[in-house]
Amino acid sequence: MIEVRLSSEAEADKERLPTQMKYRLDDVLKRLESWPQVSGVKWLKHEWADHARIRMGD
């Protein structure tokens, strides 16, 4: 299991999202916490090593 954290800027951006997108984002974050090898995860390099990103659609 891994710890998924959002930066303060990301938290602020999340609050401005439409409600449905917030739910989608919450689902993706929960998937990442329980199964980090989920499809679509890309591990970052250089100064962002040990961080990952995932796309959740449009």
In a domain, 45, yes or no: yes
Q: Is the pTM of this model over 0.75?
A: no
Residue 36: the pLDDT is: 59
The reply to whether 24 falls in a domain is: yes
Identify whether the C-beta of residue 54 lies closer than 8 Å to the C-beta of residue 32. yes
Q: What range does the domain containing 32 cover?
A: 8-54
Q: Cα dihedral sign for 4, 9, 12, 17?
A: negative
- Range 17-23 average pLDDT: 93
Q: Give how many domains the chain has, as a whole number.
A: 1
The per-residue pLDDT for 40 is 79
Q: Among residues 6, 45, 47, 50, which one has the least CA distance to residue 28?
A: 6
Report yes or no on 33 lying in a domain. Answer: yes
CA distances from 45 to 18, 48, 52 (A): 31, 5, 9
| 40-54: average pLDDT | 87
15 located within any domain? yes
